[in-house]
Structure 1
Amino acid sequence: MKKNKFIKNLSFAIFAQIISLLSSFCVQFFAPKVLSVEEYAYWQLFLFYVSYINISRIGIIDGIYLKLGGKSREELDCSLLKTKWMIFSILQIIIALIMSVIANNVIIDPNRKIVLLACGICMVLINVNNFFGFLFQAINETNIYSISEIIYNLLWFIAVGIICFLRVGSYKLIICMYVLGQVCAFFYLAYKARFIFSSRITGFKQTIIDMLDDAKCGLPLLVSMYASMLVTGSARLVVDKRWGIEAFGYFSFSMSLTTFLLKFISQVSMVLFPAIRRVEKNTQKVIFENFNIVLAILLPAALIFFSPMKFIVTKWLPQYETSMRYLGILIPICVFDGKMQLLYSTYLKVLRKEKKLLYINGLSVLISFGLSVIGAYIFQNLEFIAWGLLLAIMVRSFVAEISLLSLLKIKTNILVTFSEIFIMIVFAYLSTVLISKDILLIYSVMYIGYLFLNHKSIALLVKKMKHTKGK
């Protein structure tokens, strides 16, 4: 792949994520200032539910993504893709209607009913948009998908601005703007995909057979993705079931603060997949080995900002001071989940080890759900659930790393791996027993010690990078 193409895609992805981070920042720090804890909790419940609606794509999009990954636009069978899009869209409408009818007749709580009905609308819009989005990612035109994300994220700015300026304390307005953003993104993606719509429709029978093969190919990837989401999702479900909507809101607020960095990382990983898939096997190995060390150095540094963030959030949103008790335990998730999203999941998909990815995520779900149930119904302690969630994600990252090192035949750097785990656990513990300024001081000293302990690995990495640049 041409270097300029990669830089262009990465630049768009980074810009899109900056917009996303800014909109998320507004939602997380300004909306709670106007919304009550309960209203904010229902907004978080909507985001939580809507994150799972992609399950209705049953692996079809994922299979197309895996099959077409690395190809160019000229190599596409546009007639087949147009027919697939039509059948897929009809399928999503049918599933959304069934879900909406069930929600309307079964759910008693009017707010939960509104949330689920909105999710039904989003099911159609988001999955149809993802059909195009995944297609453009696969053919290495990720800048188009990034622009579509910019479009719908910008409307969050407007929504938050309205509720803050007019003091409208309702989550329903933000949901409406979220839906409107998806509609606008659809029109943009459909316009960019007009080269597909200009083609003729092919035979339905053969298309359905091909889509079933897409589903067979993509379902393990989809299930593994949802297993990954269920690691955190199962904990939030247990919190909602055991303590109700307000406790869910407090816990979700802590979780949302950990996602800022992870959102940026997910965009970079989107660009990496087609890029890494196009390079030679030996180059893939070198990239993994170097990138693994880079992430082990950079990601733990992000925790230095925990204390300033905790101080600012507590002053700005004192009603969420309870959430800060869990944030210190959950923030190391950024390190382990960041490596998982950016590097390990990407490489397992490139190497077509979707089933291994599924097994790793499945193991983490079992750990997370099991410890969440124990924490909720035996110890009746939310902090225990937070610790269980951190442990589950830590185990997932470790197992994925060891698996990939074995697949790529790379020697395990035991010192880097275990020293990283050690400082993350110590940080999480310190956050529960010390005040912010002491945490900042002690962790800064620990991080410097961590760098010194791994100075040989860092020096070797710098040497390799200089050698590569020299070529």
Structure 2
Amino acid sequence: MNSKIKKFAKNVSYTFLANFLSIIVSTVLILIVPGFIGADDYGYWQLYIFYTSYISYMSLGLTDGAYLRYGGCEYNELNKPVFVSQYWFLVTFDIVVNFSIALFYGSISTDTSKTIVVFLTCLTGILVVPRSLLTFMLQATNRIKEFSIIIILERIIYFILVIIFLLSGIRQFEYLIYADVIGKFFSVLYSFFVCKELVFGKFAPMKISMREIWLNISVGSRLLFANFANILIIGIVRFGIENNWGIETFGKVSLTLSISNMLMLFINALAVILFPALRRTSEQNLPAIYKMMRIIIIIPLLGLLIFYYPAKVILSAWLPQYAESLTYMALLFPMCLYESKMLLLINTYLKTLRKEKLMLVINLITVGISVVLTFISVFILNSLNLTILLIIFLLAFRSVIAELCLTKVFKIQVKKDIILEIIMTVFFIFVSWYLNIRVALIAYSIAYVVYLISKKNDIVYLLRNIKKFLNSK
């Protein structure tokens, strides 16, 4: 077998283990925690998770720039003193910024629970933003094993502490957040061990350090803003839900989003491996790899939508107090299709081709649409159903536009495939929302079989090429 394929498979095994554990932890917490704590406490816990998805962007683009510039390099090739300077710059910057945010919010807030959430979010920011420089460089230099252990350590400690708290009768949301902060703290300590050359040692001369920091920020800022705009697409909708319908509804919708997003943990793991691998690949081979990766992603994901039906039955029985909100899974479950394609395929290729500006423009356009449509659905129409449906519309819109732009560069025709995927998505949402669960399952299963028959040639093409790669030396 090709040595590159062996190394790729080895990295997949490490990230699979890390993300399999993350999926197990997330699944158990998603299923267990709502059964133990009240709806308000669950809502505040989800609000913390929501806020932490934004606080991690306080790197100014420095970590993103380093990731883009050094992707595909070897770890021993890195200029260690330069990274020591950058790491402690991030530590200092994030202490100042997060302390200022906490101080300001504490002076104006009248909601004690939200104040606690914001304070702990700021503490998390001080831990995870500097750590991201280390984890990004582990990914960029293909040290996937060490990166995976950092994730495993964080999730296991978090999981164990949450279970201990729940079994001890502790139901307050603050302790769930403490568990997450402690898990992150110990993962930071381990990251010091595996990246000690990037944390401890002599600083590079001031002039060189500042030049490197500025260069990474200037390169990474567009990717940072593109990623920030990416989470704003759904974030604006969620802000609207929390503002108009309250923390309890926000928590219930967040539960549905969490269930729909569980698969993204594994997809993200593959994206971590794929980027440095593509950076080492000849540009002329990228279109062929894209076609194969697209088939590998889309066909199974459309099939996975079938699992919505048993999942809804099981979850409704286990969490009867959330049964009403679980109906929104019919609207949100297909988001894994468009988010997976965007994260694993489109974004990875755009970063490989250094098209961060295009990513930014597409995401900003989608954010603009999100603002307008959220305002209409929340504050004018006051429709929760329409607001939730808006999430899948925005993700599909962004994915389609981005893929059309990318495949134009490669001169690949995917319009028919995109139309087929939209038809399957709309059909799934329609039958799942309007028909009883048994009839909907039969209807979508038949539609998926018809889809597989229509994609017979693509499946044959994929199997032939996989065989060819495995036999290459």
Shorter-chain TM band: over 0.9
Residues 115-173 of structure 1 show CA distances to partners (whole Å, capped at 9, x for unaligned) of 00001100110112111101111111122111111111012321331233123211111
- The whole-number CA distance in structure 2 between the counterparts of 1:30 and 1:389 is 26
Q: CA deviation at 1:267?
A: 1.1
CA shift at 1:50, angstroms? 0.6
**Displacement of 1:375 after TM fit?**
1.2
Q: Which residue of 1 aligns with 2:454?
A: 453
- Counterpart for residue 428 of structure 2: 427
Q: Residue 347 of structure 1: which of 349, 371, 377 is its match?
A: 349
Matched with 1:295 is 297
Q: Is the 8 A contact 1:372 1:384 kept in 2?
A: no
1:407 has 2:431 as partner: no
- Cα distance in 2 between the residues matched to 1:369 and 1:323: 23
Say which is worse superposed, 283-292 or 159-168, in terms of deviation.
Answer: 159-168
Residue 442 (structure 1) aligned with residue 453 (structure 2): no
- 1:234–1:369 CA contact under 8 A, matched in 2: yes
Residue 282 of structure 2 corresponds to 280
Aligned counterpart in structure 1 of residue 67 of structure 2, from 61, 65, 68: 65
- Which of 158, 169, 193 does residue 191 from structure 1 map onto? 193
Q: Hey, what does 1:209 align to over in structure 2? A: 211
State the one-letter code of the partner of 1:94.
Answer: V
- CA distance, structure 2, for counterparts of residue 398 and residue 190 of structure 1: 41
Is the counterpart of residue 20 in structure 1 residue 22 in structure 2? Answer: yes
Determine helix, strand or coil for the equivalent of 2:184.
helix
C-alpha displacement at 1:381, in angstroms?
A: 1.1
Residues 271 and 343, structure 2, Cα contact 8 Å, conserved in 1: yes
Do the aligned partners of 2:15 and 2:145 also contact (CA within 8 Å) in 1? yes
Alpha-carbon shift at residue 198 of structure 1 (Å): 5.2
Structure 1 length-normalised TM: 0.97
1:64–1:218 CA contact under 8 A, matched in 2: yes
Letter of the 1:281 counterpart: E
Structure 2 residue aligned with 1:315, among 298, 314, 317?
A: 317
**Contact 1:46-1:116 within 8 A present in 2 as well:** yes
Query: 1:366 Cα shift?
Result: 2.2
1:156 aligns with 2:158: yes
**1:10-49 maps to which residues of 2 (within 5 A)?**
10-49=12-51
1:189-224, CA deviations, whole angstroms, 9 ceiling, x for partnerless residues?
001112334542221233123211211100110111
2:110 aligned with 1:108: yes
**Structure 2 letter corresponding to 1:323:** S
SS in 2 for 1:352: coil
| Residues in 2 aligned to 1:317 and 1:406: alpha-carbon distance in whole angstroms | 46
Question: Which AA in structure 1 matches 2:4?
Answer: K
Distance between the aligned counterparts of 2:265 and 2:470, measured in 1? Answer: 29
* Partner of residue 466, structure 1: 467
CA distance in 2, matches of 1:160, 1:202: 41
* Alpha carbons 2:84, 2:197 under 8 Å: kept: no
Q: Report the Cα distance in structure 1 between the residues aligned to 2:130 and 2:442, rounded to whole angstroms.
A: 49
Q: 1:333 aligns with which of 327, 335, 346?
A: 335
Where in structure 2 are there 5+ consecutive unaligned residues?
none
How far apart in 2 are the matches of 1:267 and 1:219? 23
| Counterpart secondary structure, 2:420 | helix
Question: Do the aligned partners of 1:427 and 1:443 also contact (CA within 8 Å) in 2?
Answer: yes
Distance (Å, rounded) in 2 between the aligned partners of 1:177 and 1:98: 24
The alignment-based identity, stated in percent, is: 29
2: CA distance, partners of 1:8 / 1:468: 16
What is the TM-score of this pair, normalised by structure 2?
0.96
Q: Which residue of 2 aligns with 1:167?
A: 169
Q: What CA distance in whole angstroms lies between the structure 1 residues aligned with 2:220 and 2:199?
A: 24
- Kept after mapping to 2: 8 A contact 1:348/1:404: yes
- Structure 1 residue corresponding to 2:306, chosen from 293, 304, 307: 304
**Structure 1 partner of 2:223:** 221
Q: Point out 4+ residue stretches in structure 1 off by more than 4 angstroms.
A: none
Contact 1:31/1:163 (8 A) holds in 2: no
8 Å Cα contact 1:80-1:201 kept in structure 2? yes
CA contact (8 A) 1:273 1:350 kept: yes
Out of 214-223 and 7-16, give the one that drifted further. 7-16
Letter in 1 for 2:291: E
Tell whether the 8 Å contact from 2:407 to 2:414 is kept in structure 1 after alignment. Answer: no
1:426 alignment partner AA: F
Q: Shift of the alpha carbon at 1:96?
A: 1.2
After superposing the two structures, state which structure 1 stretch, 38-47 or 223-232, moved more. 223-232
How many residues are aligned here?
A: 470
Q: Is the 8 A contact 1:240 1:247 kept in 2?
A: yes
